[in-house]
Amino acid sequence: MSKLVTIFGGSGFVGRYIARRMAKEGWRVRVACRRPELAGFVRPYGVVGQVEPILCNIRDDASVRAALHSADVVVNCVGTFDAKGKNNFSAVQVEGAERIARLSRAEGIDRMVHLSAIGADAEGDSAYARSKADGEAAVLEHQPQAVILRPSVIFGPEDDFFNRFGKMARMGPVLPVVGGDTKFQPVYVDDVAQAAVKGVLGQAAPGIYELGGPEVASFSDLMQQMLVMIRRRRLVLNLPFWAAKLIAGVSGFGSAMTGGLVKAPLTSDQVKQLKTDNVVAKDAKGFADLGISPTSMEAVLPEYLWAYRPSGQYAAIKESARNLKA
């Protein structure tokens, strides 16, 4: 019988790419998620019965233990940007990660891949960064041979980075950003999945890997590149941090007053995160140590950002028509 991998958060942005790759490797894939009824799209990644979504709440020992039963390897892709509520930073990124590592060890699983983030820092100003670091420490306490992946901002068709700003660029002549000079090293989602698969297959040495793409650019420069791709002229306005903090406070209050029905577009913790560069450290292990050549943004972004062009999928046809001679 083929081996089984349990992927927590396997229907999410990164998890689905790992699930697809593991199915191609011939493994059985158990996708543990909160809404398995919405995760049916993972089933066709393999043959009938090879990829199965199941219900799992990583805040519950029994639920996690059931998801781990008979698995050979575990992957944790669960993360959150919500600082409050039941599924907050601590509950998901610290306690949830610890629970998965502890119970997987108890089940006799000795190989784990954990998805963290560049910027994880136990002494960091951001609660998000601290929770990521605390989660890593919790994982290593129970799974000392774990492979921990720290990607920079991840891009791909389902991302919440370029898609978010692409939508914003359709609304008006100004595209506001916070931390315009902050540097990022965007990484393609399937490259991150490929790194995770290396960990699952035992082809990556235990330890922490920082994953960034081939390009380093400031936030403002990334927005300019995006605007060129979507054929729109917008003023990229770099908001000062004090103004961003004020906006985050007001929008956070509004979100609280509506019981969370209206989500704040920016939080105070995100403002803190944007003060720090999000790039691979010079002495960190990365893609080169895994034998992976990262994909450029130019090779992928046009495949999905066309949706934000004024003429959408017809932009190329119209541009070609203008070149026709009368």
Whether 47 maps to a domain, the answer reads yes
Say yes or no to pLDDT of 326 above 70: no
Task: From 114, 145, 176, give the residue that closes a domain.
Answer: 145
Q: Which two tokens stand for residue 5?
A: 């991998």
- The predicted structure's pLDDT at residue 321: 79
- The predicted structure's pLDDT at residue 109: 98
- Residue type, position 65, single letter: R
Task: From 88, 114, 145, give the residue that closes a domain.
Answer: 145
pLDDT tens, 95-111? 999 999 999 999 999 99
Q: What pTM, to 2 d.p., does this model score?
A: 0.93
Whether 48 maps to a domain, the answer reads yes
Q: Residue 265 and residue 285: Cα distance in Å, rounded?
A: 34
- Asked if residue 98 and residue 25 are part of one domain, the reply reads yes
User: Average of pLDDT values for 15-42?
Assistant: 97
* Consecutive H or E run containing 142: helix 127-142
- Asked if residue 164 and residue 73 are part of one domain, the reply reads no
- Asked if residue 26 and residue 139 are part of one domain, the reply reads yes
- Asked if residue 122 and residue 224 are part of one domain, the reply reads no
Whether 50 maps to a domain, the answer reads yes
Say yes or no to pLDDT of 45 above 80: yes
Q: Which two tokens stand for residue 306?
A: 């066309």
For residue 163, give the CATH number of its domain: 3.90.25
Contacts of 219 (CB under 8 A, 6+ apart): 177, 178, 179, 180, 181, 182, 183, 184, 274
Q: What is the mean pLDDT of the chain?
A: 94
pLDDT tens, 250-263? 876 566 655 665 56
What are the helix and strand counts (H, E) for the chain?
Answer: 13, 13
- Asked if residue 71 and residue 94 are part of one domain, the reply reads yes
Total structural domains within the chain = 2
- Asked if residue 244 and residue 98 are part of one domain, the reply reads no
Whether 16 maps to a domain, the answer reads yes
Task: From 145, 170, 202, give the residue that closes a domain.
Answer: 145
- The mean-pLDDT minimum among 173-182, 206-215, 250-259, 288-297 falls in 250-259
pLDDT tens, 256-288? 655 665 566 788 999 999 999 999 999 999 999
- The predicted structure's pLDDT at residue 105: 97
Can you give the residue range of the structural domain that contains 80? 4-145
- Asked if residue 140 and residue 18 are part of one domain, the reply reads yes
- Asked if residue 25 and residue 121 are part of one domain, the reply reads yes
User: Average of pLDDT values for 157-176?
Assistant: 95
Q: Residue 274 and residue 241: Cα distance in Å, rounded?
A: 9
- Asked if residue 161 and residue 136 are part of one domain, the reply reads no
- The predicted structure's pLDDT at residue 255: 62
Q: Which two tokens stand for residue 294?
A: 């990262």
- Asked if residue 261 and residue 117 are part of one domain, the reply reads no
Whether 291 maps to a domain, the answer reads no
Say yes or no to pLDDT of 213 above 70: yes
Whether 285 maps to a domain, the answer reads no
- The predicted structure's pLDDT at residue 249: 86
pLDDT tens, 48-87? 999 999 999 999 999 999 999 999 999 999 999 888 888 9
- Asked if residue 250 and residue 225 are part of one domain, the reply reads yes
Residue percentage of the chain with pLDDT more than 70: 95
- Asked if residue 17 and residue 138 are part of one domain, the reply reads yes
| Strand ranges for 131-172 from DSSP E | 147-151, 154-155
Whether 150 maps to a domain, the answer reads no
For residue 138, give the CATH number of its domain: 3.40.50.720
Say yes or no to pLDDT of 166 above 90: yes
Whether 252 maps to a domain, the answer reads yes
